[in-house]
Structure 1
Amino acid sequence: MSMAVIATDCPDLRLLHRGKVRDMYAIPGQEDTLLMVATDRISAYDVVMADPIPGKGKVLTEISLFWFKLLGDIIPHHLITANIDEFPDVCVQYRDQLEGRSMLVKRTKVVPIECIVRGYLSGSFWSAYQKDTTVCGFKLPEGMRESDKFPEPLFTPSTKAEQGLHDENISIARMEELVGKELTTKMAEASVRLYEKAADYARSKGIIIADTKFEMGMDGDQLLLIDEVLTPDSSRFWPLDQYTPGTGQPSFDKQYLRDYLSSLDWNKQPPPPPLPPEILEKTRSRYQEAQIKLTS
């Protein structure tokens, strides 16, 4: 297995942002283009772990590329190319860090909203539902169980928080106040269509997409799908053949890591606890299994 990439170092490029997983660079002389690199960092509870998942960035990149191609008829996206031989020369010198885990993308004005679509009652929505069947302005049916399927997918936006802070669920009315009614409608409709097409496809491959989040940006007047798409980092993936409503589900995403962390006496604040090799390996294998099921 190749060495894990925890952080990239490309001194001839200008580092704009180092996020939880991605390093974003400006391309000299190309103001409308960015280089987005998926490292092997992994976060949980909004804390970046000290231990990486080797190869994770390549898995995320391959899955995102697959979805950009499959879903391109619903909304245009920011991808220019992921072929490093088509990158500007200033980037190619860093091939050993970039190959298989980077994308050249259009620079957009990011809309500061996480576009979350939920098909099943799980996670924070399940916790909220147990206290009140009206969640984020949605009046949900009485008597639902954990992991039950909603009658229709729900668009439940949240604010896009700075690193280290938590996103905050907001109502659609609040989203309209923040970005306008027209853009809210466009983003909500696109998000639900993306989810429905992806969920139908994934189900045919033995995966339930319980929920996911999309990010979008403006290229002039055009709304684009940006960042990563329907990866185990941004989605809840469940094995269809093990689906049992009424309880939490096994998963192909970082839930395994979250469950381990929840078993520790850790306050979910930095610094993160060290991760045992078996936790790293089992998390890596779940990501890889999702990639193989979806893309083969």
Structure 2
Amino acid sequence: MTDNNVVLKTDLPLKRFISGKVRDTYDLGDYLLIVVTDRISAFDVVLPVGIPDKGRVLNLISAFWFEKTAKIIPNHVVAVIEDVKQLDEYIPEDQRFDYPAYLTGRSMIVKKVQRLPVECVVRGYLAGSGWSEYKKSQSVCGVPLPPGLRQSQMLPEIIFTPTTKGDDTHDLPMTYQEVEKTVGAALALKLKAISIALYAFARDYARHHDIIIADTKFEFGLDNGNLILIDEALTPDSSRFWDEKLYKVGEAQDSYDKQPVRDWLEASGWNKEPPGLALPPEVIESTRRRYVHAFEVLTGKLP
């Protein structure tokens, strides 16, 4: 079912913790309230239009994977907001307000933890910037690979290609040694092993539902010294999703994400600098269908 009330911004009467390209996060003391908007960005620019259903789909896909992977590693989820009345449990009485209905489905209460400054990128297929680098150096983010691999081919083994993680800066590639220097050798080893385990589990699950997860990225935090999974998990925004039925080695694949947006913007002649362009209705609807389809295929549910 389509949500015609596109949410581009939130302005709740709560202390704002951080706002990203898609998520608005509010500080509730020991907890955070994360609200996933329908904003969409391309080429690092937030566009002036939103994609209906996108926020709910992203939030519910993350919730789905957080539950599925909890046996591998704990995560930050405290509650997924299915009824705004749930918020009374986490918002002090003197700060409560008339909760907007749009919070339902697109928001969750999470633990406030110490975020680690490493984005854990994991790749199982040779695609995107990885393919471009491989053609030049036979490596991806400094990880050497065998000769003769083809575009979109499944890699002989899953590789860990971390990047920096900053609030206001572009993510930059990190070597494993740099990760060790940043978080320590023991924690670096855990990040790599758990990232690969999470990706392998999700990749195998998704293949049984006709979706290939080519690569993804995870973020982690420390909860009283214990490593936990945070942020989002295995969504079309943080991962490269392909249709297994259409998959062909040796060529670029169509993705279950904002590819129609990128394609239209590339064809428009836009210089990729702010302000972003408004999208035509057909591009918005095509993109909406991709997000919704990914959710339905993975979970067997309607968003």
Compute the TM-score of the two structures, normalised by the length of structure 1. Answer: 0.95
Find 1:135's aligned residue among 130, 140, 143.
Answer: 140
User: What is aligned with 2:183?
Assistant: 179
Structure 2: distance between partners of 1:34 and 1:291: 24
Describe how 1:204-223 pairs up with structure 2 within 5 A.
Answer: 204-223=208-227
1:106 equivalent to 2:111? Answer: yes
Describe how 1:70-81 pairs up with structure 2 within 5 A.
Answer: 70-81=68-79
Structure 1: distance between partners of 2:96 and 2:297: 31
Q: For residues 139-178 of structure 1, what are the alpha-carbon distances to aligned partners after superposition, in whole Å with 9 as ceiling and x for unaligned?
A: 1111211101101111110011334x42111111111111
Unaligned runs of 5+ in 2: none
Deviates more, 1:120-129 or 1:252-261: 252-261
**CA distance 1:186–1:256, change in 2 (3 Å):** same
**Cα offset, 1:263, TM superposition:** 2.2
RMSD: 1.4
| Paired residues of 1:8 and 1:97 also in contact (CA < 8 A) | no
| Paired residues of 1:215 and 1:227 also in contact (CA < 8 A) | yes
**CA distance 1:23–1:91, change in 2 (3 Å):** farther
**Cα offset, 1:290, TM superposition:** 0.1
Unaligned runs of 5+ in 1: none
User: What is aligned with 2:260?
Assistant: 256
User: What is aligned with 1:85?
Assistant: 85
Structure 2: distance between partners of 1:120 and 1:284: 25
1:157 equivalent to 2:162? Answer: yes
Find 1:233's aligned residue among 224, 232, 237.
Answer: 237
| Paired residues of 1:78 and 1:225 also in contact (CA < 8 A) | yes
Structure 2: distance between partners of 1:50 and 1:182: 43
Structure 2: distance between partners of 1:270 and 1:61: 27
Structure 2: distance between partners of 1:172 and 1:289: 36
Find 1:63's aligned residue among 58, 61, 66.
Answer: 61
User: What is aligned with 1:267?
Assistant: 271
Structure 2: distance between partners of 1:56 and 1:103: 15
**CA distance 1:54–1:239, change in 2 (3 Å):** same
1:126 equivalent to 2:126? Answer: no
Q: For residues 19-48 of structure 1, what are the alpha-carbon distances to aligned partners after superposition, in whole Å with 9 as ceiling and x for unaligned?
A: 100000012xxx211100000001122111
User: What is aligned with 1:146?
Assistant: 151
Compute the TM-score of the two structures, normalised by the length of structure 2. Answer: 0.92
User: What is aligned with 2:48?
Assistant: 50
Structure 2: distance between partners of 1:146 and 1:263: 23
**Cα offset, 1:91, TM superposition:** 5.6
1:42 aligned counterpart, secondary structure: strand
**Aligned pairs, number:** 291
Q: For residues 205-263 of structure 1, what are the alpha-carbon distances to aligned partners after superposition, in whole Å with 9 as ceiling and x for unaligned?
A: 00000001111111111111011110111000000000001111011112232222222
Structure 2: distance between partners of 1:156 and 1:119: 11
User: What is aligned with 1:37?
Assistant: 35
